[in-house]
Structure 1
Amino acid sequence: MNMPLQNSATWSDTLKIRKAHLNALLKTIDARLGKTTQIQTLTINAIKAEMANIERQLNHRK
């Protein structure tokens, strides 16, 4: 007998939560004072690219 999931979020909710998580990570990385390393710059760029991708998916769902 298969029971339905009781606490299933919609795909849009999942994307919004992921975007909020990435935004918090970005703030954590940007909060550091001083010179940023190349790894930090690449990480920041990757997070921003992922956030843009999520935003496109959310806009597509509207």
Structure 2
Amino acid sequence: MEKLIEKLLAINSVLNVSISSNFAHVLLVSKNEITTETLHEVTAYDEKYTIKKIKN
């Protein structure tokens, strides 16, 4: 989980990252919107991670 947090924090404008203990949810605090595509690129190093946008 630490490697994933480091990669997410490296995204420009991300201020904080929280991941639930079962990896089901990620909360990003950022100055700007982070695209789903950017998140896919960051998590592509490990097949066990997938990103889905939560629908309102």
State if a TM-score over 0.5 links the two structures: no
- Structure with higher helix content: 1
Please state which structure has a larger fraction of its residues in strand: 2
Q: TM-score, normalised by structure 1?
A: 0.29
Larger radius of gyration: 1
